[in-house]
Amino acid sequence: MKILVTGGAGFIGSALIRHLIRETEHEVVNIDALTYAANPDALEKAADDHRYAFEHVNIRNGEALRRVLVKHQPDGIIHLAAESHVDRSIDGPDDFIQTNIVGTFNLLDAARAYYESLDSARRARFRFHHVSTDEVYGSLGDEGLFTEETPYAPNSPYSASKASSDHLVRAWQHTYNLPTVLSNCSNNYGPWQFPEKLIPLMILNALRGRPLPVYGDGQNVRDWLYVEDHARALHQVFEQGRIGERYNIGGRNEATNLDLVHTLCATLDELAPNPDLGAREQLITFVEDRKGHDRRYAIDATKMADELGWQPRETLETGLQRTVQWYLDNPGWAESIRDAGYDGQRLGLAGNAHAANTR
């Protein structure tokens, strides 16, 4: 089987491609615009495999998408390409509208034309898997979990753009019979994540003895999912998920942002002690909260377990250990990000430097 992955040089996309090349016999076509957060190095040895091909394509370009589909003749699509940084969406929503909504429309339109050109046997095995976020559901109170039936209530430009793309995918399945499946995940973390996000920013700042900025009172809650667990789940949803269905993918690892940062500090103090710094929790600094900051996300992944037999392998503790160790083992990666112009500043909200996103 040949799978076309959009956004395959991104954080989650690269993890998925590494998994597909390492664990399956599938061929993979990666299309990516190579924007600021993409990193081809994250593909590691997968990019050297004879089953891998790359196309430098932006999903905003419908003509290029149609060309790639005709050229490579994939048996399915896993769509991850998206703008994903909430802070950036607050300050500049246009890119999110153009990429996440218009880009998804372009891909659906190209996929529909391609699908209709296939013979019946190839149509029977083709599917379009759209990868989305739990943020489309809005904010939870102190109790409860997001299920596949939770009504949509997006609260940021980012989550609204993803909700819109989800609805487009549903409409293309219902109206045009495009065989689609959809998944919504909780917060991902792990190796190769661009350090505008909370966990890598905290790790890199703590290693350098810089402030560890936490939004508001630090009591916002997120469910954390190790990226390799998510890659396994995406593969299973693509191959085994029922057409027209939605699957929530979560790590069952809820933590407040403040507790998470304390855990990271303790892990770093254990794995990379620095007597000159002392306990790194002393670096924690509370900063102005983000506009419209959702209080709590938590996913019920029962459907994934019951229908597809998927469970996360990593707890938050083991996943953070693996993540911290990766950053310790790969100091050159962070240096390359700094050389490219990013040095931990808060992106998307001018005038508030060094605050971290919780997505």
Catalytic-labelled residue, pool 134, 196, 229, 300: 134
Whether residue 38 lies inside any domain: the answer is: yes
Which amino acid is residue 348, in one-letter code? G
Note the pLDDT tens digit of each residue in 41-98: 999 999 999 999 999 999 999 999 999 999 999 999 999 999 988 888 998 999 999 9
Classify residue 152 as exposed, middle or buried by CB count within 10 Å of its CB (0-12, 13-18, 19+). middle
**Quick one: pLDDT at residue 351?**
40
Whether residue 307 lies inside any domain: the answer is: no
Residue 339 has pLDDT above 80, yes or no: no
**Quick one: pLDDT at residue 133?**
97
Strand-by-strand arrangement of the 180-185 sheet: 52-56, 27-32, 2-6, 76-79, 127-133, 180-185, 246-249
Show the domain range for 86: 2-189+227-249
Catalytic-labelled residue, pool 83, 87, 135, 228: 135
Query: Residue 109 sits in a domain of what CATH number?
Result: 3.40.50.720
Q: Tell me how far apart the alpha carbons of residues 185 and 134 are, in angstroms, rounded to a whole number.
A: 5
Q: For 315-336, what is the mean pLDDT?
A: 93
Whether residue 149 lies inside any domain: the answer is: yes
Is 83 a catalytic site residue?
A: no
Kindly state the DSSP code that residue 352 receives in the 8-state scheme.
-
Whether residue 334 lies inside any domain: the answer is: no
* pLDDT band at residue 352 under the 50/70/90 scheme: very low
Among candidate residues 94, 37, 91, 88, the one with its CA nearest the CA of residue 60: 94
Whether residue 35 lies inside any domain: the answer is: yes
Q: In 3-state terms, what secondary structure has residue 297?
A: coil
Whether residue 348 lies inside any domain: the answer is: no
Catalytic-labelled residue, pool 158, 215, 247, 297: 158
Note the pLDDT tens digit of each residue in 299-317: 999 999 999 999 999 999 9
Q: For 317-326, what is the mean pLDDT?
A: 97
Number of domains in the chain: 1
pTM over 0.85: yes
Instruction: For 160-183, give the DSSP string.
Output: HHHHHHHHHHHHHHHHH---EEEE
Is 135 a catalytic site residue?
A: yes
**Quick one: pLDDT at residue 358?**
40
Is 158 a catalytic site residue?
A: yes
Residue 355 has pLDDT above 70, yes or no: no
Q: Tell me how far apart the alpha carbons of residues 350 and 359 are, in angstroms, rounded to a whole number.
A: 18
Whether residue 31 lies inside any domain: the answer is: yes
Whether residue 270 lies inside any domain: the answer is: no
